[in-house]
Amino acid sequence: MSGARDSEGEVLVRLEGVSKRYETGSIVTEVLTDVDLAIRRLSFTVVFGVSGCGKTTLLNMIAALDKPSSGSVVVDGVTLSSLDEPGRTEFRRTRLGIVFQYYNLLPTLTAIENVEAALEIAGTPGRQTRARAVSCLEMVGLSHCGAKFPSELSGGEQQRVAIARALAKEPLLIVADEPTGNLDEETGLGVMTLMSELRLRKETTLVVATHNTRLASLADCVVRIEQGRVHEAHGAPAVAEISR
């Protein structure tokens, strides 16, 4: 844990006093408790912890997929926790790239069409979508697979298409939840190494949730979560503070 705050100009993501709880009748389950966290621009931060510790919930807050029960989430000066659902949808559509564990590719579209679809949703002019999709597939080493459907690709190749899709929008932030969870160890390491390299080339910020210690070693900063609480952050690009 660091006691010093980063300057606001360097911070892309800031969470202050973030808690998330779910109520089922009289039963209240608290998933996150008083999380304070700052993540610098252009950094590669891993949110590390065992399954069920709250890391996916934390990523959902940062990715505008969910709202905290209390506290604030600010990304690039936008207070996501104050936006309504249409506002959060617009933020995701135009400014975020998201990579999922299960790829979430559209099975009836080819690899290049999956990338183009993300660009079309983001409002990219039609004349630019094919050229940018081709470029992004080249970056992930799949220029030869553009005409293939997801069912014709290996798991590692499908995840590379998902990375190309996330990069195509040229987002300020990419959030990835267990992006190697369905891959073997070596393929997963290759995918994470690729994501780290492309993050530098595309000048974007990368936040990844994982329980794999080997993958966490690639990051600039590791934020450790246990039972819904941020316990520590290693490395300069992020600052995590424990609420006592």
Q: What single letter denotes the amino acid at residue 112?
A: I
For the whole model, what pTM was predicted? Answer: 0.86
Query: Is residue 29 domain-resident?
Result: yes
More confident residue, 147 or 218: 147
Residue 130 lies in a domain: no
- Does residue 236 lie in a domain region? yes
> Is the pLDDT assigned to residue 190 strictly greater than 80?
yes
Which of 46, 54, 44, 41 shows the shortest CA–CA distance to 14?
Answer: 41
CATH of residue 27: 3.40.50.300
- Report for 87-96, 179-188, 209-218: range of highest mean pLDDT: 87-96
CB-facing half-sphere around the CA of 231: CA atoms within 13 A = 10
Angle between helices 155-168 and 126-139 (to 10 degrees): 140
**Number of domain units in the chain:** 1
In a domain, 114, yes or no: no
Q: Which residue has the higher pLDDT, 215 or 145?
A: 145
Q: What is the mean pLDDT of residues 35-54?
A: 91
Q: What is the pLDDT of residue 9?
A: 58
Three-class SS of the chain: CCCCCCCCCCEEEEEEEEEEEEEECCEEEEEEEEEEEEEECCCEEEEECCCCCCHHHHHHHHCCCCCCCEEEEEECCEEHHHCCHHHHHHHHHHHEEEECCCCCCCCCCCHHHHHHHHHHHCCCCHHHHHHHHHHHHHHCCCHHHCCCCHHHCCHHHHHHHHHHHHHHCCCCEEEEECCCCCCCHHHHHHHHHHHHHHHHHHCCEEEEEECCHHHHCCCCEEEEEECCEEEEEECCCEEEECCC
pLDDT recorded at residue 235:
65
Asked whether residue 164 carries a pLDDT value surpassing 90, the answer given is yes
Residue-wise pLDDT for 97-140, tens only, equals 999 888 899 999 999 999 999 999 888 877 789 999 999 999 99
Whether 241 has a pLDDT exceeding 60, the answer reads: no
Provide the pLDDT for residue 242.
33
| Residue 19: inside a domain | yes
- Mean pLDDT, range 190-208, rounded to an integer: 90
Q: Please say whether the beta carbons of 225 and 231 come within 8 A.
A: yes
Per-residue pLDDT, 215? 80
- Whether residue 18 lies inside any domain: the answer is yes
231 is a domain residue: yes
| Among candidate residues 152, 221, 214, the one with its CA nearest the CA of residue 188 | 214
Domain range holding 221? 11-105+170-241
Asked if residue 135 belongs to a domain, the reply is: no
User: Per-residue confidence at 239, pLDDT binned at 50, 70, 90?
Assistant: very low
Inter-helix orientation angle 155-168/111-121, to 10°: 30
pLDDT at residue 7 greater than cutoff 60: no
Q: Compute the average pLDDT of residues 39-59.
A: 91
| Weakest-pLDDT range from 4-8, 54-58, 153-157 | 4-8
